Structure 1
């Protein structure tokens, strides 16, 4: 049975997947069979349903989290305890400080810009002609994988020297050439290259923001809108004093959800720059330190830092959801 843990060929991997599916079906069948037995105590039924989830949570999340926290206090060999040295390196080294600044830039700009564009789209296309078609186009980037979107935008930013006989294949640089400007290496020049990477994430997440906020706008009671119109409120004042306060809980959910996704973003940076040219962020640096540079201690410390950064966002999101439920 060692091949279950060391499967390498596609055939072995498919076999492991097939065995896992069979085990899942068998376990669920046993649980359902036990739940239908009239003489089985209720606590056994509850335990049968909760035990698989609890085991998966224990071995898939809690135990790895414990190992990660432990390794963050050890050296690269994972044998000697070195205290907070890995954390001190993260906050003192100039390269890691750049990573932290880049991450902060992503976490601030991506949620705000995505929510802003999503709200603008939701307001402009609400009850407009061709609303469904417009929303489909705006939401379409969400259906593309992060890697696929990164490859698309890497071609958009592609650079070729502005010389006779050399054609630009990057859309953005071709536009610059058309208007008489020199093509630019958008992904190689820091710190502006970070903004071009952020634009990709905003492009992807704006569709999600629009979908949630559009639903929130449609849920605004008609009597509130009619009362505002009778008071002479329209245009931007309608948006400011009626629409925006009504969808505030949805805006908070959108911002916090996108912020959590942004903290974990890896594919865009990895695909477009590989974390080079001062574009690396915490999630990418965690991978590099752990699997490229052979520094699992620093990689584990970055993973712990990522987890710590996510916790306040989650707590704030839960608090805001509770407040919105109480207001209802």
Structure 2
């Protein structure tokens, strides 16, 4: 005799089977249409892409258009205010700090993480311990950005001078005779310290890609340069870097796109306080914390406009190399 739970689960199971049957029927119809008579390539591609395009329209295009419309409305999303929200993003002192911090992140994080990753990759690319060395530098990427923020928040932790320091940075300062400081409160140093956290998590990504690119550089070039008396630094600047320029560009663009969307580290470590806010976090605060839907939407549109040139350049670069 069937239990009550088994009977209760029957409608759900039947619904699942009906859904699978409908999906199989759609796939069968598509395959049948493709194999019956001459079907042009573009028509076949459109048939196969139609479900994905529909989902993209529902999950991406419509919300984007809705956000664009909200950016021209007031805090409640009802009254039309024109460009007031966009004027606010470039005139309000707090918003200007957000833009300044975002620019600082976009400049420092990609350049620093790529430079450090390049130096590390050049040092270990042809080493016998290459796999271990790359796995070591890649380890921080296994930690979520929230987890990294928590770890580094302890590194920057502050206690009064008479109390024992639990933060690694302040312990070093006290050990050398200095006074402990509230690192995450003092501007603009706190922004730079948050950048350090992101660089720590992203350097492994750059190092792994660049190490693979360096190994693809013909050894004949480097050996010839070494026989001509070139130093390791000269070989890196004049042979290695020009040879891996496409990979360097991809790494820089990917880092820049990710940096523009920075949220987790700021949210975890400072909550955007003490002049550390960036666009992605300010967008969240304005829309969901302060109830300023129009301003949050305007920041979202601004973020989209800032990311678009990087994405477009990356797509063009891939088309050229492809």
Same fold (TM over 0.5): yes
2:78 is equivalent to residue 79 of structure 1: yes
Q: Structure 1 residues 251, 33: closer, same or farther in 2, change over 3 A?
A: same
* TM-score, with length taken from structure 1: 0.87
Q: Structure 1 residues 102, 323: closer, same or farther in 2, change over 3 A?
A: same
Q: Structure 1 residues 156, 50: closer, same or farther in 2, change over 3 A?
A: same
2:129 is equivalent to residue 127 of structure 1: no
2:213 is equivalent to residue 223 of structure 1: no
The equivalent position to 1:239 in structure 2, one of 219, 236, 240, is 236
2:170 aligns with 173
Q: Secondary structure at the match of 1:315?
A: helix
- Taking the aligned partners of 1:34 and 1:157, their CA distance within structure 2 comes to 61
1:15-43 alpha-carbon deviations (Å, 9 max, x no partner)? xxx99998986665344433553548757
- Taking the aligned partners of 1:49 and 1:252, their CA distance within structure 2 comes to 33
Could you tell me whether the CA contact under 8 Å between 1:269 and 1:280 is conserved in 2? yes
2:113 is equivalent to residue 111 of structure 1: no
The equivalent position to 2:28 in structure 1, one of 26, 29, 33, is 33
Deviates more, 1:31-40 or 1:143-152: 31-40
1:9 aligns with none
* TM-score, with length taken from structure 2: 0.88
Q: Structure 1 residues 24, 70: closer, same or farther in 2, change over 3 A?
A: farther
Q: CA deviation at 1:155?
A: 0.7
Q: CA deviation at 1:236?
A: 1.1
- Taking the aligned partners of 1:302 and 1:293, their CA distance within structure 2 comes to 14
Could you tell me whether the CA contact under 8 Å between 1:31 and 1:49 is conserved in 2? no
1:62 aligns with 61
- Taking the aligned partners of 1:144 and 1:267, their CA distance within structure 2 comes to 12
Q: CA deviation at 1:145?
A: 0.5
Could you tell me whether the CA contact under 8 Å between 1:31 and 1:45 is conserved in 2? no
2:278 aligns with 281
The unaligned stretches of length 5 or more in structure 2 are 1-12
Q: CA deviation at 1:50?
A: 1.1
Q: Secondary structure at the match of 1:121?
A: helix
Q: CA deviation at 1:223?
A: 2.7
- Taking the aligned partners of 1:27 and 1:314, their CA distance within structure 2 comes to 37
- Taking the aligned partners of 1:27 and 1:202, their CA distance within structure 2 comes to 48
2:99 aligns with 100
Aligned-residue RMSD, C-alpha: 2.4
Q: CA deviation at 1:228?
A: 2.4
1:38-90 alpha-carbon deviations (Å, 9 max, x no partner)? 54875786455212210111011111110011110111121211110001111
Could you tell me whether the CA contact under 8 Å between 2:149 and 2:265 is conserved in 1? yes
1:6 aligns with none
Could you tell me whether the CA contact under 8 Å between 2:30 and 2:48 is conserved in 1? no
2:7 aligns with none
1:151 aligns with 150
2:193 is equivalent to residue 196 of structure 1: yes
The equivalent position to 1:260 in structure 2, one of 257, 261, 267, is 257
Could you tell me whether the CA contact under 8 Å between 1:139 and 1:207 is conserved in 2? yes
- Taking the aligned partners of 1:55 and 1:269, their CA distance within structure 2 comes to 35
